[in-house]
Amino acid sequence: MNGPPLAFVNARLVTPEGARPGALLVEGDRIAALGTIEVPSMAEVVDLGGLILAPAIVDLGVFAVDVAACHAGGIVRIGLMPDQSPVLDDPGIVQRAALIGRPKLWIHPIAAATKGLAGRDLAEMAVNIGAGARAVGTGRGWIADAGVMRKVLAYAGDLGLAVVAHAEDGGLAAGAVATEGETATRLGLAAAPALAEALAVARDLMLAEETGAALHLRTVTTAASFDLIRAAKRRGVRVTCGITPAHLLLSDIAMSGFRTFAHLSPPLRTESDRQAALAALADGTIDVLSSGHDPRGPEEKRLPFADSSPGAAGAETLLALGLGLVRDEVIDLPRLFALLAANPARMLGVETGVLAPGLPADLVVIDPDTPWQISADRFSGLAGNTPFDGMPTQGRARQLYKGGTRLV
């Protein structure tokens, strides 16, 4: 940002130490000071009237570059999954992916761990780092060959990259669109046991422990998996895990009536697993709250449930649903922004995600009390395939800044 300093006053600042009243000063594209500050006479002053000022969201594990949806949801940086067309397994493709959103969206590519995401031959990780890759990932699928996954973790560990993995045993989950249980039986849907996730988690944790590599399990959803991750963290394994609001707030009952907007990957779980996920969020086992943003048009969702594509458009609802967890006292506001910004930034090796002097002025102004109804037909982004369609909620991003430049 070129021009005079920018001063936010009468703000409720969200920092790792807590949420408190104060002001924040931006000079250039960086945060210069915050708290009780002296506002320079030449500064442009933005009086927030008590609204929340927080780090802009870093959304880890997004499947599509959807600028409008990200801006509506308070997101200025995304960790882009390798499942693109073409796959992010080549330095030229990775470099183009890193540049396509600028200047309105900062894209941090997660390069494919294996060529074509086929799970066989390792991709050129070192070259892809030079092209802008911030992590490597298995994409929507699981690497079935343990020998290949061991090589992926060892190679990525040597390069200082985290491996973003999908945890679902492909042998058990093949062809399944739901979790085994009453709902899947009643609907007659092909289903896999929830154990498919824990088996994959157990294997990858053992390999991460043996190699010393950093492993991020992108979406973890079952009680058994959370128990394995807790135990691994106690042993010092370099593991983190994430979840989406859908897996925290919905159970497999949401699929009733063959609602394809509730066809997700991994599939929605039983109520007991959902409660275990909320407990894992509260006790710190879960490190990242992400949208899993995967916009799908009617040609992919207006189909029989088993034929529809899994995925949800989550970028526009991520913030509001996260604020709902704060209102419900599952977590507090600083913890929410650790999950949404600080932790994903750390995993991607990007110095941002916290309100602190010297860091980029990536900021979101939030009105936590604005009521609105989630409507698939009124989304700003590429598609509105949300399992929360019709749900009332609260909280909106009112202003969004990237490097001190206002985007919204």
Residue 300 main-chain phi, psi, to 5 deg: -105, -15
What is the C-alpha separation between 326 and 248, in angstroms, rounded? 13
362 and 401 Cβ atoms separated by less than 8 Å: yes
Question: 280 is written with which tokens?
Answer: 């894992």
Across 195-291, the runs of DSSP E, i.e. the strands, are: 215-217, 239-243, 288-289
What is the C-alpha separation between 215 and 287, in angstroms, rounded? 12
Start-end of H helices in 24-145: 67-72, 91-99, 125-130
Check residue 178 and give its pLDDT. Answer: 98
The pTM for the full model equals 0.96
- Dihedral, 68, 307, 141, 348 alpha carbons, nearest 10: 10
Check residue 2 and give its pLDDT. Answer: 62
* CA-based end-to-end distance of the chain: 15
Beta-ladder partners of 45? 7
Check residue 3 and give its pLDDT. Answer: 81
Check residue 6 and give its pLDDT. Answer: 97
Question: 404 is written with which tokens?
Answer: 């001190």
> How far is Cα of residue 244 from the mean position of the Cα atoms in its chain?
7
Question: 199 is written with which tokens?
Answer: 């088996």
Question: 343 is written with which tokens?
Answer: 């932790």
Which residues of the chain have a pLDDT value below 70?
1-2
What is the C-alpha separation between 45 and 404, in angstroms, rounded? 13
Element (H, E) at 369: strand 363-373
Asked if residue 103 has a cis previous peptide bond (ω within 30° of 0), the answer is: yes
Q: What are the DSSP calls for 309-333, one per residue?
A: PP-B--TTTHHHHHHHHHHTTSS-H
Architecture of the structural domain at 55-348 = Alpha-Beta Barrel (3.20)
Count of H helices and E strands in the chain?
14, 18
